[in-house]
Structure 1
Amino acid sequence: MSRRSLPHLPTRPTWRCRACGIAWPCSPAKLALLGEYRNDRAALRVHLAALQAEAAAHLATLDGGTPPVGLAERFTGWTHAR
Protein backbone atom coordinates (compact mmCIF):
# COMPACT_ATOMS: atom_id res chain seq x y z
CA MET A 1 0.00 0.00 0.00
CA SER A 2 1.45 3.36 -0.96
CA ARG A 3 1.80 6.15 1.58
CA ARG A 4 -0.83 8.21 -0.27
CA SER A 5 -3.48 5.55 0.02
CA LEU A 6 -3.26 5.32 3.81
CA PRO A 7 -6.15 6.92 5.67
CA HIS A 8 -5.30 9.95 7.79
CA LEU A 9 -5.81 8.25 11.15
CA PRO A 10 -3.84 8.60 14.38
CA THR A 11 -1.05 6.25 15.31
CA ARG A 12 -1.21 5.50 19.00
CA PRO A 13 0.49 6.27 21.36
CA THR A 14 2.28 9.09 19.48
CA TRP A 15 -0.85 10.64 17.95
CA ARG A 16 0.89 11.34 14.65
CA CYS A 17 -0.96 10.79 11.39
CA ARG A 18 -0.18 7.40 9.92
CA ALA A 19 -0.43 8.80 6.38
CA CYS A 20 1.49 12.08 6.56
CA GLY A 21 3.30 11.88 9.90
CA ILE A 22 2.24 15.22 11.34
CA ALA A 23 0.33 15.78 14.57
CA TRP A 24 -3.16 14.31 14.30
CA PRO A 25 -5.70 15.54 13.39
CA CYS A 26 -3.89 16.75 10.30
CA SER A 27 -5.63 18.91 7.68
CA PRO A 28 -6.85 15.95 5.59
CA ALA A 29 -8.20 14.27 8.74
CA LYS A 30 -10.02 17.46 9.73
CA LEU A 31 -11.62 17.69 6.28
CA ALA A 32 -12.70 14.06 6.46
CA LEU A 33 -14.13 14.53 9.95
CA LEU A 34 -16.01 17.67 8.92
CA GLY A 35 -17.52 15.73 6.03
CA GLU A 36 -18.43 12.77 8.19
CA TYR A 37 -20.04 14.96 10.87
CA ARG A 38 -21.35 17.70 8.58
CA ASN A 39 -24.87 17.41 10.00
CA ASP A 40 -23.88 17.12 13.66
CA ARG A 41 -21.03 19.39 14.74
CA ALA A 42 -21.82 18.70 18.43
CA ALA A 43 -21.25 14.97 17.91
CA LEU A 44 -17.94 15.79 16.22
CA ARG A 45 -16.84 17.76 19.29
CA VAL A 46 -17.87 14.94 21.63
CA HIS A 47 -15.97 12.41 19.52
CA LEU A 48 -12.86 14.58 19.39
CA ALA A 49 -13.02 15.36 23.12
CA ALA A 50 -12.94 11.62 23.84
CA LEU A 51 -9.95 11.21 21.53
CA GLN A 52 -8.27 14.20 23.18
CA ALA A 53 -8.58 12.53 26.59
CA GLU A 54 -7.08 9.33 25.18
CA ALA A 55 -4.26 11.28 23.53
CA ALA A 56 -3.53 13.21 26.73
CA ALA A 57 -3.08 9.95 28.62
CA HIS A 58 -0.88 8.41 25.93
CA LEU A 59 1.26 11.50 25.41
CA ALA A 60 1.68 12.09 29.15
CA THR A 61 3.03 8.56 29.49
CA LEU A 62 5.54 9.23 26.73
CA ASP A 63 6.57 12.57 28.25
CA GLY A 64 7.13 11.71 31.89
CA GLY A 65 3.58 12.28 33.12
CA THR A 66 2.78 15.65 31.59
CA PRO A 67 0.49 15.91 28.57
CA PRO A 68 1.55 18.51 26.00
CA VAL A 69 -0.03 21.94 26.07
CA GLY A 70 -2.45 22.89 23.32
CA LEU A 71 -4.32 19.60 23.03
CA ALA A 72 -7.72 21.30 23.32
CA GLU A 73 -6.96 23.61 20.41
CA ARG A 74 -5.45 20.75 18.42
CA PHE A 75 -8.39 18.41 18.91
CA THR A 76 -11.49 20.59 19.27
CA GLY A 77 -10.58 24.26 18.82
CA TRP A 78 -10.86 24.08 15.04
CA THR A 79 -14.42 22.67 15.14
CA HIS A 80 -16.14 25.83 16.29
CA ALA A 81 -18.15 27.74 13.71
CA ARG A 82 -16.41 30.82 12.41
Structure 2
Amino acid sequence: MTARPRPHLPMRPAWLCRNCAAPWPCGPAQLDLIVEFYGHSIALAFYLASSMQEAVDDMFALGGRPDPAVLHTRFLGWLSLARRSAGQGDS
Protein backbone atom coordinates (compact mmCIF):
# COMPACT_ATOMS: atom_id res chain seq x y z
CA MET A 1 0.00 0.00 0.00
CA THR A 2 1.35 3.38 -1.02
CA ALA A 3 0.91 6.30 1.34
CA ARG A 4 -0.89 9.26 -0.16
CA PRO A 5 1.01 12.52 -0.08
CA ARG A 6 -0.25 14.92 2.55
CA PRO A 7 -1.92 18.00 1.09
CA HIS A 8 -0.41 21.43 1.62
CA LEU A 9 -3.33 23.14 3.35
CA PRO A 10 -3.35 26.23 5.57
CA MET A 11 -3.25 25.91 9.34
CA ARG A 12 -5.19 28.76 10.87
CA PRO A 13 -4.81 31.20 12.50
CA ALA A 14 -1.07 31.13 11.76
CA TRP A 15 -1.56 30.57 8.01
CA LEU A 16 1.32 28.13 7.83
CA CYS A 17 1.25 25.00 5.71
CA ARG A 18 0.07 21.95 7.67
CA ASN A 19 2.54 19.78 5.75
CA CYS A 20 5.79 21.74 5.41
CA ALA A 21 5.23 24.64 7.89
CA ALA A 22 6.09 27.27 5.26
CA PRO A 23 3.92 30.37 4.94
CA TRP A 24 0.79 29.31 3.05
CA PRO A 25 0.35 29.17 0.10
CA CYS A 26 3.72 27.42 -0.04
CA GLY A 27 5.23 26.34 -3.37
CA PRO A 28 3.55 22.92 -3.42
CA ALA A 29 0.22 24.50 -2.45
CA GLN A 30 0.57 26.97 -5.33
CA LEU A 31 1.12 24.09 -7.76
CA ASP A 32 -1.86 22.21 -6.33
CA LEU A 33 -4.04 25.31 -6.66
CA ILE A 34 -2.97 25.86 -10.27
CA VAL A 35 -3.99 22.29 -11.07
CA GLU A 36 -7.23 22.48 -9.07
CA PHE A 37 -8.32 25.76 -10.66
CA TYR A 38 -6.97 25.03 -14.16
CA GLY A 39 -8.96 27.08 -16.66
CA HIS A 40 -10.56 29.13 -13.88
CA SER A 41 -7.94 31.75 -13.06
CA ILE A 42 -10.53 34.34 -11.97
CA ALA A 43 -11.99 31.87 -9.45
CA LEU A 44 -8.46 31.14 -8.18
CA ALA A 45 -7.79 34.87 -7.75
CA PHE A 46 -11.05 35.31 -5.81
CA TYR A 47 -10.24 32.28 -3.62
CA LEU A 48 -6.77 33.61 -2.82
CA ALA A 49 -8.05 37.16 -2.19
CA SER A 50 -10.64 35.75 0.20
CA SER A 51 -7.97 33.67 1.92
CA MET A 52 -5.76 36.75 2.22
CA GLN A 53 -8.60 38.68 3.87
CA GLU A 54 -9.15 35.83 6.32
CA ALA A 55 -5.42 35.84 7.10
CA VAL A 56 -5.55 39.60 7.75
CA ASP A 57 -8.53 39.13 10.07
CA ASP A 58 -6.76 36.30 11.91
CA MET A 59 -3.58 38.34 12.31
CA PHE A 60 -5.49 41.31 13.73
CA ALA A 61 -7.38 38.96 16.08
CA LEU A 62 -4.02 37.66 17.34
CA GLY A 63 -2.88 41.23 18.02
CA GLY A 64 -0.60 41.49 14.99
CA ARG A 65 -0.23 44.26 12.44
CA PRO A 66 -0.22 42.58 9.02
CA ASP A 67 1.69 44.24 6.20
CA PRO A 68 -0.72 44.46 3.21
CA ALA A 69 2.09 44.55 0.63
CA VAL A 70 3.75 41.42 2.03
CA LEU A 71 0.44 39.56 2.19
CA HIS A 72 -0.49 40.63 -1.34
CA THR A 73 2.81 39.28 -2.65
CA ARG A 74 2.39 36.06 -0.69
CA PHE A 75 -1.23 35.33 -1.63
CA LEU A 76 -1.66 36.97 -5.04
CA GLY A 77 1.73 38.09 -6.34
CA TRP A 78 2.62 34.70 -7.80
CA LEU A 79 -0.53 34.47 -9.95
CA SER A 80 0.81 36.59 -12.80
CA LEU A 81 3.94 34.42 -12.93
CA ALA A 82 1.82 31.26 -13.05
CA ARG A 83 -0.31 32.66 -15.88
CA ARG A 84 2.75 33.80 -17.82
CA SER A 85 4.35 30.35 -17.51
CA ALA A 86 1.15 28.62 -18.63
CA GLY A 87 0.73 31.01 -21.54
CA GLN A 88 4.29 30.44 -22.81
CA GLY A 89 3.54 26.78 -23.50
CA ASP A 90 0.54 27.68 -25.71
CA SER A 91 2.54 29.15 -28.58
Dislocated runs of 4+, deviation >2 Å: none
Aligned length: 78
Residue in structure 1 matched with residue 41 of structure 2 by the alignment: 41
Gaps of 5+ in 2: 85-91
Which amino acid in 2 is paired with 1:38?
Y
What's the CA shift string for 1:15-72, capped at 9, x where partnerless?
000000010000000000000111011110001000000001111222x242234101
> What amino acid maps onto 1:12 in structure 2?
R
The answer to whether residue 45 in structure 2 is matched with residue 20 in structure 1 is: no
- Please tell me whether the aligned partners of residues 33 and 44 of structure 1 are also in contact (alpha carbons under 8 angstroms): yes
What SS does the corresponding residue of 2:78 show, helix, strand or coil? helix
User: Given the superposition, is the C-alpha separation of residues 68 and 60 from structure 1 closer, same or farther in structure 2, using an over 3 Å criterion?
Assistant: farther
- CA distance in 1 between counterparts of 2:18 and 2:64 reads 24
Give the aligned CA root-mean-square deviation in angstroms: 1.5
Q: Percent sequence identity over matched residues?
A: 45
Taking structure 2 as the reference length, the TM-score comes to 0.78
TM-score when normalising by structure 1: 0.86
Inter-partner Cα distance in structure 2 for 1:79 and 1:45: 8
Unaligned 5+ segments in structure 1 are none
